[in-house]
Chain A
Amino acid sequence: MHRLREVVIETTKQCNLNCIHCGSDCGHKTTEDELSVEEWRDVLLQLSEMKVGKVVFSGGEPTLKDGFETLLAFASVLGLKVGFISNGLFAFSESLQEVISRCNPFAVGLSIDGLKQAHNKIRKNQNSWQGLMQNISILQNLGVQICVVTTLHKLNYHELPRLASFLDLVDVDSWQLQLAMPSGRMKNQVNLLINEDDFKKICREVLVLRKFYPNINIQSADCFGLAPENSIRSDYWAGCPAGISAMAIDACGNIMPCLSLQDSQRCENIKNKPIVEIWEKSSGFDFNRKFTNKNVKGRCENCKLLSECRGGCNSQSFSYYGYFHSSPFCFTRSFYQ
């Protein structure tokens, strides 16, 4: 039996920005069939009964969801370890600040894609940076951990050293680096996606920055693939957790192995079945749960570490090739094989 430890929630598909690289193609409008606050409350209740460790409200822009504050507060009352990620365009309202200080989230994520000019260009909004500055102040005044999330592509990865220097000055707690991939709006911008050479440069940069900025908890996300401990991230990575120990729920209540697996099939909808039943029985997780080396084609086919890694990040693999277990980028493959 697989224990569900982390759930990423697509709180809403609505967003007040229109970023170049948005993997979910979120827009200004909300769709009619999005879950109501009542339905989300029920989801949270079920997750707490399943003893899920961590819930992250993602989006779209979660703070735009009517009742978001209620959900955050409710999740925390249920004892769930909770965090949320925002584009930080507008200063968090006083009522949200009040809820944040009551809920004590393990972290609040702010998406920062470069220094002011690059960030505003990628976010296609001239005020975007200004909002971030305000929210960093707000969160630091509240004593909440800030995790900066940077999605890397050709427009911004060169800025990593300057951005690191800036984040060090600002004293953020964590910095999560992730790679853009051809899903959502990025499908129309494949020329901006990094190649193997870029990936190696990024990894070398991350290795160095982690050594030189020990006060920032710099972590490369799953999409960088298997890597030795304390190289591009702190911990040992045991392969894609989608359907093994983590899953996502989209804004309409569809359960997905990972929120980044936007183009693969959804599992089932929480409106039709209890979440625990979907988690235990849905065949939508089989690609990862019933993994055998035989399934594997492409880039990971001959890797000695395939059994434990299962071909790296499945959302990367799926978005690039339309099949699982063959991540286009892998630290181990790039540097040791």
Chain B
Amino acid sequence: MNNAIGLIKEDLRRHRVTVTLPGEQEEKSLYLILITAKTKKFKDFVETYGNKVTTTHRKIAQKVFGVWETENVYGALIDENMQMIFAFNRDFADYDKTKKAIVFKDIDDVLIDRIEVKKIELEESEALPIGPKERGRRNPDNIGEWLIKYSLAEKKNKIT
């Protein structure tokens, strides 16, 4: 067994990094390994960004990540005693060699990068209604609706 640990340590040497952990001042020498696990990305998102997560972020994150378990890749920093010191979901952070630190991606960038654009193809004939009809001189009572620049549209059928 001791021998096995020795071998693992030997192998780990290739993964040794110098890092200043988030919230700490001093550099540490740790091993950085990658682990894949089935977990909830949404939960990681909320834990990673803590009080930066607004209701809006939460709403988007729930939709783009789903709430179910998926495969996630983690960076795990462990010490000489094989104790886990710090872990991060690589979708949200990564080890930066130059900075010798864990660098977190911007919360908004993480979400925006996940936005899927529906590829919408619609024939113009399908989208375009019949043209406006001539109604004659404007009837002063028939003022229609308008939407002035720098005024505001209102959703009329909103159930509150």
Contacts and interface: CB of A to CB of B under 8 A. Distances in A.
B147 A238 contact: no
A307 B153 contact: no
B142 to A, nearest CB: 6
A169 B60 contact: yes
A259 B152 CA distance: 13
Contact of B153 (A136, A147, A171, A259): A147
A245 interface: yes
A173 B127 contact: no
Contact of B120 (A208, A240, A304): A208
Given A23-B149, A335-B131, 16 more contacts: A6-B151, A137-B56, A149-B152, A165-B115, A166-B115, A212-B118, A222-B146, A233-B147, A234-B145, A237-B146, A242-B148, A246-B148, A260-B148, A308-B134, A310-B138, A313-B149
Contact of A305 (B117, B129, B134, B160): B134
B2 to A, nearest CB: 52
B90 to A, nearest CB: 21
A323 to B, nearest CB: 18
Contacts of B151: 6, 8, 54, 56, 58, 83, 85, 246
A174 B132 contact: no
A141 B127 contact: no
A221 B129 contact: no
A175 B153 contact: yes
A245 B158 CA distance: 25
Interface string A118-138: 000000000001100110110
B14 interface: no
A170 interface: yes
B120 A212 contact: yes
A257 to B, nearest CB: 10
B148 A221 contact: yes
A260 B146 CA distance: 14
Contacts of B135: 308
Interface in B123-160: 124, 127-132, 134-138, 140, 142-156, 158, 160
A227 B64 CA distance: 35
B59 A228 contact: no
B116 interface: yes
B59 A169 contact: yes
B29 interface: no
B118 A161 contact: yes
Contacts of A220: 147
A336 B153 contact: no
Interface in A205-228: 207-209, 211-212, 217, 219-223, 226-228
Contact of A145 (B57, B137, B155): B155
A17 to B, nearest CB: 15
Interface string B19-30: 000000000000
